[in-house]
Structure 1
Amino acid sequence: MAEGRLRIVSDNDYSGDPDGLFQLVHHALSPSTELVTVIGSHLREGDAFDPSETTADNAAALASDYLGRVGRGDVPVVAGSNVALTDRRTPHDSAGARAIIAAVHADDPRPLYVTLGAGLTELASAWLLDPTIAGKLTAVWIGGAEHPGVESPPGAPAAEYNTAIDPIAAQVVLNDSDLQVWQVPRTSYRQTLASFTEMKAHLTGPVGRDLVGVLESLQERIRSFGLDIGETYILGDSPLVLLTALQSSFEAWPSSSESAVLPMPAINDDGSYSDAPVPGRTVRVWHRLDCALMMRDLYAKLAGV
């Protein structure tokens, strides 16, 4: 695999929602990016059918497994903290946090993106351990509720799922730090619908069939609780690939998607947004995603793998 024109530290709860595994193998097969390190991060207690699946250690083990399946066993994988932060001043000095710091301070001029598909525990801890990392990376986060003026999905909680994994870490990264953040909030990542019929038609290689099978197994487990999730699935972590690996050739930028720089929302202790934003702090919010490019590229890269 070529070195790539930009570097990625990929942080995700790979043992949770299977969309993270789609993101991981897609990034691993993208020659424009170098996966510097993959970090397995934790889920909230009770957010998995098996309690052992909530740990960062389990996420890291799954990440290693899938990287090996696509011929990328060379990528270093570490586990983050198994628990959320307890206050806004005390980091968890984990291997995941240290991996972010090491990537920032590596002697490498290429842009560094830290892609985050779950909670923000590791990035918050990295900044608390070493605030000098700010200005030297772009954090791309799948998470956060809708901004003012955007309607929430019916029945959606005020605290979006990934924010609720570690609300204190969200407060540290979004409100306390000076880190540059690109946000893909709930209203945006819900655009990434893929039908089971479409995925089965295109993902015909061994890894692709396995990933679809994981989704179908989850679909059946959810049905056993009396909930029918229909015939589509939200591959909500895949924008992490779209916004990094699939940037334009010249003047590199995610030019087929649309964003706006907005006031940074202040995060309440429960993970919901406060009525007033953080004074003087902004966030780039990606509000329209080129899902067609993202899915076509995913299917082509996984063909036969």
Structure 2
Amino acid sequence: MNDMVCFEDVSQRFGTLTALNDLSLELKAGQLSALIGPNGAGKTTAIDLMLGLNTPSQGTVRVMGVDPRLARTRQGIGAMLQEVNVPAGLSVRELLTLYAALYPRPMTLDRALTLSGLAEQAKQRVSSLSGGQKRRLSFALAVVGQPKLLLLDEPTVAMDVQGRAAFWQGIAELRSEGCTVLLTTHLLEEVDRAADRLIVLNKGRIVADGTPGSVRERVGVSRVRFVSQLSAVQLRALPGADSVEMGRDGLATFSTRTPELLVRAALDAAPDLGSLEVTRASLEDAFLSLTAESVINEVTVSA
């Protein structure tokens, strides 16, 4: 089986609100996919369907080839959600022991503690953990059942630099063993660095689907900055300048789809350009552009 998750023509309605609109989506086994979108795009609804917490109004959802509402399907899913309510009076090891007992083939507690970076806090009560340590605990609880599918919702919020590094090292180890990962986050730099595939959701529909690099290139916008003695009128007249912002000390920042043309024209007009900088569109630029479109059409961007 190559598809870990399959949505076929799925719609989800809550009264007059349509959270998902005829959504078709497959998540391949072993991939780390990122699902992003503005608030209200339908991300949480999609995850709830994968977890078997809701039934779609229309269409079919399959996880590991079967109905996600079945108990045996849920035993193969781990979820690290934003908020987890657990008994605060238990120690970290006691809580992991409790969770591990719910699964037929859990990983060892020592490994769950090592993966989450909580080995030194194993005897601490949950109530004494810091915010970042509680996020690591959520990760440990999500993986202790050795899931085939791992759902991560804003996983590194409140983690420090060391905690994030340890978290992603743990994810890499799980992926090497075949675990499929779906990430939802607003930290686009993590998406850019970690994801094999990026799915952008807006108004319940997919508006882009491909590698982070291919989604970035779809926007096709570059930023050009330089310092010159050219007037504002001359700068705005440069070919390829879609927009220009004037800063202090003569610094001009351009948005352009033809950076080579703009730079060549600028050098012809003022050979003494200073602090020249050309950068391609960031993933944030692409995200803002894709989700700001008033007419949403499904777009597949080849890897």
Task: Tell me, yes or no, whether TM beats 0.5.
Answer: no
Higher strand share: 2
TM-score by length of structure 1 reads: 0.28
TM-score normalised by the chain length of structure 2: 0.28
